[in-house]
Amino acid sequence: MAATMPRSFLQAIAKDEAVAPPLRVVQIEGLAVLKIIKHCKEFAPTLVTGQLLGLDVGSVLEVTNCFPFPVRDDDEEIEAEGANYQLEMMRCLREVNVDNNTVGWYQSTVLGSYQTVELIETFMNYQENIKRCVCIIYDPSKADLGVLALKALKLSDSFMELYRGGNFTGEKLREKNFSWMDIFEEIPIKVSNSALVSAFMTELETDTPVSQGDYDRLHSSTTPFLENNMEFLIKCMDDLSMEQQKFQYYYRNLSRQQAQQQAWLQKRRSENMSRKSAGEEPLPEEDPSNPIFKPIPEPSRLESFLITNQVSNFCGQINGVAGQNFSRLYLTKALHEN
């Protein structure tokens, strides 16, 4: 039997990358979760970001640590200082034997309004150096409702292909069967702790069966939360209406141009018939130098897709909170009757 040739290290790495399984879960350490929550709540309502550190192990992306970014500014010198700060933090973590592999970043949000072009551009910049990265979104405004609003996102492969091509026309989207729901993919989050931390948390648990989070979830006054969601929803609907007006203006111009082209073509054909009867050479029926034959660029549908994502998110939050309020009211009514 012929002996198999041993594979080199580079060959093994190349094969492992070629058959890398899809990302199934983001496993994040409890310490990293606490750091994210602390950073976002301290600066709320200002939006903040930070670096995620960990390991990419098969279908699991492990987030073992994180550190915050300085507050951004438009000044170029301050941006350069922020880049130096990140490099210095990575060096310090490496010296104390802490995972310093970048696996993404985290950022805070207000009522889930994170679907922006800036988020997509940041994802694409990370994708140039990191094959698989995630963004963890935390919403401090939901903490008052007793909700741990953590969400791990990544861009879908089909969207990244479209974004690199820069073609978000209606024809291209219909060809790819792409909709606004296909931009982001939400990855399940699993919070893990070491055995020592779990034992310590067990010691800290009180004998009372009810925690403060349980009381927060029974709080029935959610009017400010609903009002803010409605304000954001109205603003998004106005933005979506503006995007629709752009497309209406485009289609009006396109119809006008097509009518001008048909009129010009009929005139040219009648002129060619006269020239042909006179024994002259006919003129071409296409004139690229004529402005009416210059194609009108179609507006990108990316912005309208992102706004539709935000509208869906706000509607889902309003629906969820309203349903929970009805449940609390029915519970309170039953308690009063008893």
At 252-261, the pLDDT tens digits run 988 998 888 8
Q: Which of 334, 321, 62, 70 is CA-nearest to residue 189? A: 62
Confidence class of residue 216 from pLDDT cuts 50, 70 and 90?
low
304, 240 in Cβ contact below 8 A?
yes
Neighbouring residues of 54: CB distance < 8 A, sequence distance ≥ 6: 28, 61, 62, 63, 64, 65, 99, 101, 103
Confidence class of residue 74 from pLDDT cuts 50, 70 and 90?
low
- Report the distance separating Cα 321 and Cα 19, nearest Å: 42
- Report the distance separating Cα 202 and Cα 64, nearest Å: 21
Average pLDDT of span 77-86: 63
| Domain at 21-204, CATH homologous superfamily | Cytidine Deaminase, domain 2 (3.40.140.10)
pLDDT at position 265: 85
The domains of the chain are located at: 21-204, 235-275+283-337
User: What are 160-182's pLDDT values in tens digits?
Assistant: 888 888 778 888 888 888 888 88
Residue with the larger pLDDT of the pair 111 and 239: 239
Neighbouring residues of 328: CB distance < 8 A, sequence distance ≥ 6: 218, 220
pLDDT at position 4: 47
Could you tell me the strand order of the sheet in which 150-155 lies?
A: 184-187, 150-155, 134-138, 102-108, 49-57, 60-68, 25-29, 189-192
User: What are 263-297's pLDDT values in tens digits?
Assistant: 888 888 888 888 788 777 877 777 777 777 788 88
